[in-house]
Amino acid sequence: MTSLSFYLARAYSAMAITFKSPLFPDIRFYILLAFLLRLTGITNPPLEMGHNWRQATGLMVSRNFLEVNSCILYPRVDDNGGQSGIIGMEFPVMNYTYFLIAKIFGYTHWYGRLINLLVSSFGIYFFYLLTKKYINERTAFFSTLMLLSSIWFSYSRKMMPDTFCISLMLIGIYYGMKYLEEGRKLFLFLFFFFSSLGILSKIPAGIYMILFLFPVLAGDFPKGRKILFCVSGAVTMMLVYAWYFMWNKHLSELSGIWYNNGVSLSRGFGEISRHVGEAMEKFYFSAFDGFIFFACFIAGLFIAFRKKNFRVIYIFSSVGILFLLYIFKSGFFFYHHNYYSIPIVPVMALVAGYALANLNREWLVTILLLGGITEGIANQQHDFFIKDSEKYKLESGKIAERISKKDDLILINGGLNPQQIYLTHRKGWSCENDKLADTLFLKSLIENKCRFIFVDKHTFNSKLNFSIIFSDADFDVYEPDRQ
């Protein structure tokens, strides 16, 4: 662990011990503190080892809104095979927000990180408000600290919609309940607005809609209010269906690029059943980036059932059942990517916080809380810093500026990861190393107007049978047309 991140983690943990102090009784202090900690490396390009490919894809979409077409209905990527680059994907709420900011201030890599961090911080505060109101304040306080140091700690500062969408949904839940309780149309609009944006940003946010099932069916609210609420929710679901299952299909027909809407439940069940250990790791470690808070989560379940706390049991079981379906729809992807656990982490944090809230030994509460926070942050601190071995990739964009025009198509051996082609700020193809030795493959790309071939020498150090126009320690660039 670097000395900087070590002392930041220690400072955060030291502050957490003051939860009973009159100096720091407000959870907003800790949310702000976590926000400031996560500004470490906020301006970094997408070069960290964890899911840089996913961030690069989102960044491409934002940049293409700025440089190609600003219509939100037509998101585009750069590794487009020489085509339009139009792709079916999540509704690009975060990407378009990025575009609007870049329209004013100009484009730079890190706006997306800051957008996500701001929205996710507000989402965590609304998580606190919901837990405080419907469980109790002590549980809300502990649960929020746990969520702050969970996998959300690092992923809420990535150009990815995973914590972003759940945060919007948490805000939507808060205003949905406010509308049911108070009947103000403004709250209904805010529920519709935030929940729609949340689920459109990524479908898994929709699992939280089930929390309204009991209040609507059994809650003592006026019938007319319930009907309007259900109509609003139905419109949200129709918008989500239209985007993901109708419009995305249309976009795929335009470009031949199809967005992954998951696998069949039977196939996903088979994939998960063959990799149960890997799937379980996403809960017992990845969710909190440690074991302490997961142990608290298990204890919280036991206590909730023993005390027959209906609300905790209802929240866990209802969201948990839908999340299980999400796991089977994800299949292979769930146990290969730790961020697939993000949607359920707020519920796990709530249950874990409930366990601490029911302990009557404050010294034990303090040890568990500080231990879990320190463990979570320490296991994520590497994500805030860029390895020197990755920084050479930034030079590809400078090389491209020197030797090519903006509309020149290129090939680069970035493999399935679009990071390298994004950093060149050009469009074209990204391929595996073995494709560089495939004469027919290269010929077909040249016929499709591939103007330059960039070769990352860190992964492929052989020469190609084309005219080389640039070479340094990191890259060779070839121009096939000069032959």
Average pLDDT of span 223-234: 96
pLDDT at 12 over 60: no
Nearest alpha carbon to residue 334 among 268, 244, 259 = 268
Helix (H) or strand (E) holding 428: strand 427-430
pLDDT for the residue 83: 80
Instruction: Find the mean pLDDT for residues 28-44.
Output: 95
Q: Is 461 exposed, middle or buried (0-12, 13-18, 19+ CB in 10 A)?
A: exposed
Confidence class of residue 1 from pLDDT cuts 50, 70 and 90? very low
What integer pLDDT is reported at residue 51 of this predicted model? 87
- DSSP code, position 276: H
Determine the 3-state secondary structure of 444 from DSSP: helix
Q: Which of 5-9, 179-183, 356-360, 401-405 has the lowest mean pLDDT?
A: 5-9
Residue 474 exposed, middle or buried by CB count within 10 Å (0-12, 13-18, 19+) = middle
**Do 75 and 57 form a contact (C-beta atoms < 8 A)?**
no
User: pLDDT value at position 389?
Assistant: 94
Q: Residue 120 is encoded by which pair of tokens?
A: 């996710």
Predicted pLDDT at 11: 47
Examine the pLDDT at 248 and tell me if it is beyond 80: yes
In this structure, what token pair is assigned to residue 268?
């996903």
Ordered by start, the domain boundaries in the chain are: 3-83+112-384, 388-482
Statement: residue 16 has pLDDT above 80: no
Which pLDDT value is given to residue 50?
83
| pLDDT score of 483 | 54
Write down the pTM of the prediction.
0.92
pLDDT bin (cut points 50, 70, 90) of residue 254 is: confident
Q: pLDDT at residue 15 above 70? A: no
Burial class (CB in 10 A: 0-12, 13-18, 19+), 441: middle
Using N-to-C axis directions, what is the helix angle for 111-134 and 27-37, rounded to 10°?
A: 160
Average pLDDT of the chain to the nearest whole number: 91
- Write down the pLDDT at residue 257: 67
pLDDT at 261: 72
Over the stretch 189-221, which tens digit does the pLDDT of each residue have? 999 999 999 999 999 999 999 999 999 999 899
pLDDT recorded at residue 23: 43
d(CA 420, CA 454): 10
Residues paired with 427 in a beta bridge: 409
In this model, does residue 14 exceed pLDDT 80? no
| Average pLDDT over every residue of 263-289 | 93
- 304 three-class SS: helix
| Residue scoring higher pLDDT (250 or 147) | 147
Pick the range with the lowest mean pLDDT from 51-65, 252-266, 350-364, 448-462.
252-266
- Tell me which of 9-13, 71-75, 167-171, 418-422 is least confident: 9-13
Q: What is the mean pLDDT of residues 58-83?
A: 92
Could you read off the pLDDT of 110-140 as tens digits, one per residue? 999 999 999 999 999 999 999 999 999 999 9
Tokens representing 81 are: 């095979």
| Segment 356-374 mean pLDDT | 94
Strands, sheet with 468-471, edge to edge from the N-terminal-most edge strand: 427-430, 409-412, 450-456, 475-478, 468-471
pLDDT digits over 429-453, tens only? 999 999 999 999 999 999 989 999 9
Q: What percent of the chain has pLDDT over 90?
A: 83
pLDDT band for 24, please (50, 70, 90 cuts). Answer: low
Is pLDDT at 352 greater than 80 in this prediction?
yes
Cβ(457)–Cβ(420) below 8 Å:
no
Q: Alpha helices, DSSP H only, in 160-309?
A: 162-182, 185-201, 213-218, 223-241, 248-255, 265-273, 276-281, 292-307
Per-residue pLDDT tens digits for 285-338: 999 999 999 999 999 999 999 999 999 999 999 999 999 999 999 999 899 989
Number of H helices, E strands in the chain: 22, 5
Residue range 15-41: average pLDDT? Answer: 76
**What is the helix (H) or strand (E) element at residue 224, kind and residue range?**
helix 223-241
Helix (H/G/I), strand (E/B), else coil: 470: strand
